[in-house]
Amino acid sequence: MNKVYTKSSLLIADDYVRIVVGGRGSYVEFSTEQIIKDNIVIPADQAFRLLDSNVYYDEYRTKDISNVKIYFQKRLVSYADYKVGMWYISVNDVKIENPLDVLFDN
């Protein structure tokens, strides 16, 4: 397992699925089971996304000083291989425990 933390050391995921490289940068992909939901929150100004079927993602933030943006993907996009029902965080916003383990899993 490769635990994922914010830069201020809040645990936000027990593991991750893959790194997705797209037109807007590189993102870590997570399943719902991997996200530590007690450590994230929906900002009040983003709650509208939960009921809007036209938005591409729901926005969450971490409950720490890092305030990391977390996307829950709701629709497909053309600029990256994001999957509906998966979670995404910029690789620039996190620390991954044992990141080289991914290279040797096969």
Query: For 16-33, how does the pLDDT look when each residue is reduced to its tens digit (9 = 90+)?
Result: 999 999 999 999 999 999
- CA–CA gap between residue 94 and residue 106 (Å, rounded): 24
Q: Is residue 25 part of a domain?
A: yes
User: Is 98 a residue whose pLDDT tops 80?
Assistant: no
Owning domain of residue 82: 4-92
- Tokens in use for 43? 């900002």
Q: Is residue 88 part of a domain?
A: yes
Task: Write the DSSP assignment of 26-65 as a string of letters.
Answer: EEEEE-TTTB-GGGEE--GGGGGGGT-TT-SEEEEEESST
Query: For 60-69, how does the pLDDT look when each residue is reduced to its tens digit (9 = 90+)?
Result: 999 999 999 9
Q: Is residue 103 part of a domain?
A: no
Q: Is residue 67 part of a domain?
A: yes
Task: Say how many domains are in the chain.
Answer: 1
Q: Is residue 38 part of a domain?
A: yes
Instruction: Decide: helix, strand or coil at residue 5.
Output: strand
